[in-house]
Structures are given as structure tokens and as C-alpha cells.
Amino acid sequence: MASKDRKNYVSWAQSSIRYCDLDPNGHVNNGAINTFFEDGRVLFRDEYMVQLGDDILTGFALVKFLAEYHLPLYFPGIVDIGTVVTKVGNSSYNLGQGIFREDECIATAEVVTVSFDPKSKTSKPIDSKLRDILYTAMLNK
């Protein structure tokens, strides 16, 4: 599972907690927390991958998303979303993510993304340029 320690992430996004993120119990619902994870992945893509262009980045699918919720989160406030590459395989890569409010870890997630050929709908090896970039976003290389 992803780390509960802030120092184990390389990319950081921030999101505001909105009143509409609350559930009937008064805390932020899991759907909103999952959206925060998505915010982190989008910023990670923008920071590390977007310069490669659509030719390389077309044909990726998130195939696994596993979240663990550790503490309740309340309105109002800001959360920090950390993202790091934890593994680079032949046709897939894994991300670890953590959501933090100050020094408290609210939730962690593991994500697996697979590279595929949009025409044949089968997995394909990750492009070497992307592979190099993914390695730069790993803590333990």
C-alpha cells in the first residue's frame, strides 16, 4: 500500500474541500476523496508526462484503484495530494498516492495504469521516453 509519510512522494497537488463534498454525517465522502486522488494524478501527468505529446500518451487506462481511508476529513480546508511512481513494468506502471491535511494522512491509494494499443485493444510496452520519465518520479530506483 502507499505510504502514510509525506516524505515518500515526489509530486504535490492541492485541492480545496468544498461544502458539497460532505456526506450526511458531516465529513468528506469517499467519492470526493477519490476525486482528490484524481486531481493528484492529473497534476502528475501535467508535471512529468505532458511534454511527450499525444502520440505517446494516447492509449493508457487505469485498471486498478485501491484506496484506504485512514481518518475522517472535514470542511473547510485544503488537502495536499502526493503522488509517486512505485513500479514500472513492461506495459504498466504503478502509482502510490497519499492525501494529507497538514501532517495527518487521511487516505492512501495504489493505482495501476496499463499502456494499450487503441486499435487492437491489447496491452503494449511503455514507450522508452515515457519509461525514462517514470523512473525520474520514483524514490527507490
Our CA dihedral for 42, 45, 67, 113, rounded to 10 degrees, sits at: 130
Asked if residue 141 is part of any domain, the answer here is: no
Confidence of residue 141 (pLDDT cuts 50, 70, 90): low
Whether residue 140 has pLDDT greater than 80: no
Asked if residue 39 is part of any domain, the answer here is: yes
Q: CATH no. for residue 108?
A: 3.10.129.10
pTM of the model: 0.93
Residue with cell 511534454: 51
Asked if residue 24 is part of any domain, the answer here is: yes
Asked if residue 36 is part of any domain, the answer here is: yes
Asked if residue 61 is part of any domain, the answer here is: yes
Asked if residue 1 is part of any domain, the answer here is: no
Asked if residue 26 is part of any domain, the answer here is: yes
How many separate domains does the chain show?
A: 1
Whether residue 55 has pLDDT greater than 80: no
Q: How far apart are CA 108 and CA 76, in angstroms?
A: 20
Residue range of the domain that includes 73: 6-136
Confidence of residue 57 (pLDDT cuts 50, 70, 90): confident
Question: In sequence order, what are the residues at sequence separation of 6 or more whose Cβ sits closer than 8 angstroms to the Cβ of residue 33?
Answer: 67, 69, 73, 99, 106, 107
pLDDT (tens digit per residue) in 66-78: 999 999 999 999 9
